[in-house]
Amino acid sequence: MTKGIPELYGSLVFNNRVMRDKLPKDIYRALRKTIENNTHLELDVANSVAVAMKEWAVENGATHFTHWFQPMTGHTAEKHDSFITPIGDGQVIMDFSGKELVKGEPDASSFPSGGLRATFEARGYTAWDPTSPAFIKDRTLYIPTAFCSYSGEALDKKTPLLRSMETLNKEAVKILHLLGKNDVTSVSTTIGPEQEYFLVDKALYEKRKDLIFTGRTLLGAMPPKGQEMEDHYFGALKPRVSAYMHDLDEELWKLGIPAKTKHNEVAPAQHELAPVFDTANIAVDHNQLTMEMMKKVADRHGLVCLLHEKPFEGINGSGKHNNWSMITNTGVNLLDPGRTPAENIQFLVFLMAVIKAVDEYADLMRVSVASAGNDHRLGANEAPPAIVSIFLGDELTAVLNSIENDTFFGKQQKIQMETGAAVLPHFFKDNTDRNRTSPFAFTGNKFEFRMLGSSISVAGPNIVLNTAVAEALRQFYEELKDTPSDQMEEAVHGLVKRAIFNHKKIIFNGNGYTEEWVKEAAARGLYNLRSTSEALPHFIAEKNVALFTGHHIFTREEIYSRYEILLENYCKTLHIEAKTMQDMICREFLPALMEYTDKIASSLRAKKALLPELSCSSQEQLLEKLSVYYEEIFRAEEKLEADTAKAEALTEMQEAAVFYYETVLSDMNALRKAADSVEKYLPDEILPYPNYEKLLFSV
Ligand code: ADP
Ligand code: MG
């Protein structure tokens, strides 16, 4: 490495420093105003910015530009145009206009739109999002954009996210002004997504059709050792993993992504990366880029990065913790309880708004993390349960109890940590311990939404969170708006008290993995949406449609189209998995099993021919066992094949999703169980693809 990290950091980003250097003063000021106040940008300003951007990009080796957007596939999309413009005489110049910067017209016909746009109306538009900085990757200038249809419907994940941030901003500022915080002019949402992933050897990966086609293993017995020793969590990094992580950090830093923490996770071959938090819109873009870079850098190291939620059966899957808070333009974190949370009415209002939001829209929160992959994690005693609840910790719970019951809240003294060793420094304990089993936990000055799957865009969950909290704040404002300022404190106290009474059922500080909690949650009337097919219909529930349309996040049509896309995506994912499994069983697993059975049979025949008196009962028993398994696997595969065909024939999507979940997936589980049971009898050279032992312990 030649450059120091501070010089390297953001070197491929058209950030504020570059803008200040490259833009005429008045243009720079106009652009800053647009970014900070969400105001409209004039074309002459855009033209100047385009020229500066192009010059900077060309200086840094770029030849192309692309409007980078986030269609409903959950991935990012890009189409590259070069800067060249012929000027006659066989010559070109490098050119880029304001119009090209602000608007693009990709042919949108092949992106999922859930019926919003017929294929013959292929026109779609991308529009520059100046609040997320442009960057260079692979010698192309990337311009973050929103993607919409000819008639203005959002076809992407960025547009609704921006809308949700604006609505939360508006409602939060209204309440703050009511509470006398007139210096606040804007509130933004901040997120810090912690990203889990697996690394496997590329040569091994390439031998597994299931990993290639579905991102997860559909077959594979546990090796003698899994994660039971818990020796991988925070363990020393192996040299190959460490080299990968260093390389990844540097690539991310160049893109201005503040990668901060890295460590080994619980499962073998599992790791985590966390950035420093940022404004929601930028953090979402950065998380998409991080996932892409994780894969790209892995390739350079002869590795493959698996972002699937459950690549391996029997060990932990991967999630993404979405740390979330709100910050004012004056730098105040609205979820910071301060020294005396019981007296901090501003904190209590915002805390209660979050609690009310999560309680009233718990089903939408669940929808926002629903995917075929995540279904393998939620509720499987390794990730949060599928039931949404909130962990507040002892101190805040005590604060809320005292408000609800009008009792005195005696603040606990900070307790000095007793380590029993004099040489160690003295420090104070945190007021709350951690609770890893909670789906939505208060962690000191932010909430951590832990149900997200590792592969999804974090846009969706934050759209729901922002909008639901905005709605709670809107209702609080309506309750408080006519209160004279000298009675405000009392009025807020009353409001908080009522909100606690109405929403305390969502608060649960216990162990979320237990059977008792499932029963208790049902008694409390909380949702327990076990699968994607069960969760998705809640997206179009009337109360949820009212929430989104009321805040202009989605139109009714946009909601229905997204519901369709999610259902279709779920069915397609399971269809591909079922087909891949059939292929592996019929063309790889059963032939291997037959080959080995044949070997045993011929050896048995040879022995018997030579020594007719010899007892070969154990070998006969093995032969019989393998043949019985062969039969069972063969029949289970036939059933899976027949049910997959039935699923294909279903035209009603919701019905198909339920059928895939209840029938096709359970066929796959039964088939897998049989195949995995016999796998241990098969020698390595017989199995035509690498087993778990090799995949999990080879890097
Ligand atoms: P922990 O390890 O306890 O989960 P950390 O302090 O390491 O918590 O933070 C985890 C993530 O939360 C990091 O990405 C961090 O930047 C992010 N984070 C911290 N403060 C905030 C905040 N106010 N808003 C959003 N994210 C935050
Ligand atoms: Mg965390």
445 and 349 within one domain: yes
The one-letter amino acid at 400: L
340 and 238 within one domain: yes
234 lines ligand 1 (CB under 6 A): no
> Tell me, what's the pLDDT at 342?
81
191 lines ligand 1 (CB under 6 A): yes
> Tell me, what's the pLDDT at 425?
67
Residue 419 lies in a domain: no
Confidence of residue 431 (pLDDT cuts 50, 70, 90): low
324 lines ligand 1 (CB under 6 A): yes
Confidence of residue 471 (pLDDT cuts 50, 70, 90): very high
The one-letter amino acid at 620: E
- List, in sequence order, every residue forming a beta bridge with 197; answer none if it has no partner: 271
Task: Examine the fold and report which residue of 488, 523, 554 is the final residue of a domain before the chain moves on.
Answer: 554
| 325, burial (CB in 10 Å: exposed 0-12, middle 13-18, buried 19+) | buried
Nearest ligand to the CA of 273 is 1
Confidence of residue 449 (pLDDT cuts 50, 70, 90): very high
277 lines ligand 1 (CB under 6 A): yes
Ligand 1 atom nearest to 275, measured from its CA: 14
Of 277, 278, 325, best ligand 1 pocket probe by most atoms within 8 Å of the beta carbon: 277
Residues contacting residue 692 through CB under 8 Å, at least 6 positions apart:
217, 220, 221, 222, 223, 312, 314
Determine the distance separating the centroid of ligand 2 and the alpha carbon of 536, expressed in angstroms. Answer: 27
Taking only the tens place, the pLDDT of each residue in 580-590 is: 999 999 999 99
Q: Over the range 159-168, which residues count as b (16 or more CB within 10 Å of their CB) and which as e?
A: bbbbbbbbbb
Going by CA atoms, what residue is nearest to atom 22 of ligand 1?
A: 325
The DSSP code for 540 is G
> Tell me, what's the pLDDT at 299?
98
Query: pLDDT: is 236 or 479 the higher one?
Result: 479
333 lines ligand 1 (CB under 6 A): yes
Least confident interval from 128-132, 322-326, 541-545: 128-132
Nearest to 334 by CA among 489, 193, 469: 469
202 and 131 within one domain: no
What are the DSSP calls for 615-626, one per residue?
Answer: --HHHHHHHHHH
Nearest to 485 by CA among 181, 182, 184, 179: 179
257 and 212 within one domain: yes
Confidence of residue 576 (pLDDT cuts 50, 70, 90): very high
The one-letter amino acid at 316: N
Question: Tokens 């000055």, residue?
Answer: 445
Nearest to 45 by CA among 34, 57, 58: 34
Residue 417 lies in a domain: no
Determine the distance separating the centroid of ligand 2 and the alpha carbon of 450, expressed in angstroms. Answer: 8
276 lines ligand 1 (CB under 6 A): yes
441 lines ligand 1 (CB under 6 A): no
Taking only the tens place, the pLDDT of each residue in 72-82 is: 888 999 999 99
In angstroms, the CA 219 to CA 593 distance is 14
Reported ipTM: 0.95
Task: Examine the fold and report which residue of 118, 139, 156 is the final residue of a domain before the chain moves on.
Answer: 156
In angstroms, the CA 662 to CA 644 distance is 12
Q: Is the separation of the CB atoms in 126 and 67 below 8 Å?
A: yes
Residue 368, both tokens? 């926002």
In angstroms, the CA 311 to CA 216 distance is 4
The one-letter amino acid at 533: S
192 lines ligand 1 (CB under 6 A): yes
Q: Give the total number of structural domains in the chain.
A: 3
446 lines ligand 1 (CB under 6 A): yes
Residue 606, both tokens? 């040879």
Residues contacting residue 451 through CB under 8 Å, at least 6 positions apart:
319, 365, 366, 369, 374, 378, 383, 384, 388, 439, 440, 461
Q: Is the separation of the CB atoms in 68 and 76 below 8 Å?
A: yes
Confidence of residue 83 (pLDDT cuts 50, 70, 90): very high
641 and 547 within one domain: no
Q: Is the separation of the CB atoms in 223 and 691 below 8 Å?
A: yes
User: CA-CA-CA-CA torsion for 58, 62, 64, 65, nearest 10 degrees?
Assistant: -80
Determine the distance separating the centroid of ligand 2 and the alpha carbon of 65, expressed in angstroms. Answer: 36
Of 446, 448, 466, best ligand 1 pocket probe by most atoms within 8 Å of the beta carbon: 446
> Tell me, what's the pLDDT at 569?
95
270 and 191 within one domain: yes
Q: What is the dihedral sign for C-alpha 448, 449, 451, 456?
A: negative
> Tell me, what's the pLDDT at 419?
62
In angstroms, the CA 340 to CA 408 distance is 13
Q: What is the dihedral sign for C-alpha 530, 532, 533, 535?
A: positive
Task: Examine the fold and report which residue of 526, 554, 582 is the final residue of a domain before the chain moves on.
Answer: 554
Q: Over the range 447-477, which residues count as b (16 or more CB within 10 Å of their CB) and which as e?
A: bbbbbbbbbbbbbbbbbbbbbbbbbbbbbbb
642 and 577 within one domain: yes
User: CA-CA-CA-CA torsion for 231, 232, 237, 239, nearest 10 degrees?
Assistant: 100
Nearest to 470 by CA among 632, 639, 356: 356
Of 265, 323, 354, 446, best ligand 1 pocket probe by most atoms within 8 Å of the beta carbon: 323
Residue 310 lies in a domain: yes
Determine the distance separating the centroid of ligand 1 and the alpha carbon of 406, expressed in angstroms. Answer: 33
- Enumerate the H helices of 421-487 as residue ranges: 459-480
Instruction: Please write down the HEC assignment for all residues of 560-602.
Output: HHHHHHHHHHHHHHHHHHHHHHHHHHHHHHHHHHHHHHHHHHH
Q: CATH number for the domain including 692?
A: 1.20.120.1560
Nearest ligand to the CA of 192 is 1
In angstroms, the CA 336 to CA 441 distance is 14
Q: Is the separation of the CB atoms in 255 and 13 below 8 Å?
A: yes
In angstroms, the CA 538 to CA 525 distance is 16
Question: Tokens 């959950």, residue?
Answer: 74
Residue 420 lies in a domain: no
202 and 69 within one domain: no
147 and 169 within one domain: no
Determine the distance separating the centroid of ligand 2 and the alpha carbon of 194, expressed in angstroms. Answer: 7
Residues contacting residue 75 through CB under 8 Å, at least 6 positions apart:
288
Ligand 1 atom nearest to 193, measured from its CA: 14
Taking only the tens place, the pLDDT of each residue in 21-36 is: 999 999 999 999 988 8
Determine the distance separating the centroid of ligand 2 and the alpha carbon of 132, expressed in angstroms. Answer: 25
Ligand 1 atom nearest to 325, measured from its CA: 24
151 and 168 within one domain: no
Give me the chain's average pLDDT, please: 93
Q: CATH number for the domain including 531?
A: 3.30.590.10
> Tell me, what's the pLDDT at 412?
62
Residue 412, both tokens? 């606990």
Q: Is the separation of the CB atoms in 662 and 617 below 8 Å?
A: no
> Tell me, what's the pLDDT at 1?
52
322 lines ligand 1 (CB under 6 A): no
Ligand 1 atom nearest to 336, measured from its CA: 23
> Tell me, what's the pLDDT at 232?
83
Determine the distance separating the centroid of ligand 1 and the alpha carbon of 301, expressed in angstroms. Answer: 29
Taking only the tens place, the pLDDT of each residue in 36-51 is: 887 888 889 999 999 9
Residue 415 lies in a domain: no
Over residues 536-555, the mean pLDDT reads 98
Over residues 1-5, the mean pLDDT reads 74
pLDDT score of 59 more than 90? yes
SS3 17: helix
Residue 564 lies in a domain: no
Residue 325 lies in a domain: yes
Query: pLDDT: is 236 or 553 the higher one?
Result: 553
Taking only the tens place, the pLDDT of each residue in 630-641 is: 999 999 999 999
213 and 77 within one domain: no
Determine the distance separating the centroid of ligand 2 and the alpha carbon of 447, expressed in angstroms. Answer: 10
The one-letter amino acid at 436: R
Taking only the tens place, the pLDDT of each residue in 475-528 is: 999 999 999 999 999 999 999 999 999 999 999 999 999 999 999 999 999 999
SS3 698: coil
Nearest ligand to the CA of 327 is 1
**187-201 vs 278-279, strand pairing mode:** antiparallel
Nearest ligand to the CA of 263 is 1
Q: CATH number for the domain including 105?
A: 3.10.20.70
Taking only the tens place, the pLDDT of each residue in 175-228 is: 999 999 999 999 999 999 999 999 999 999 999 999 999 999 999 999 888 888
> Tell me, what's the pLDDT at 107?
77
Ligand 1 atom nearest to 445, measured from its CA: 23
152 and 232 within one domain: no
Residue 561 lies in a domain: no
Q: Which domain holds residue 378?
A: 164-410+428-554
Residues contacting residue 70 through CB under 8 Å, at least 6 positions apart:
76, 77, 147, 156, 157, 158, 284, 288, 457, 459
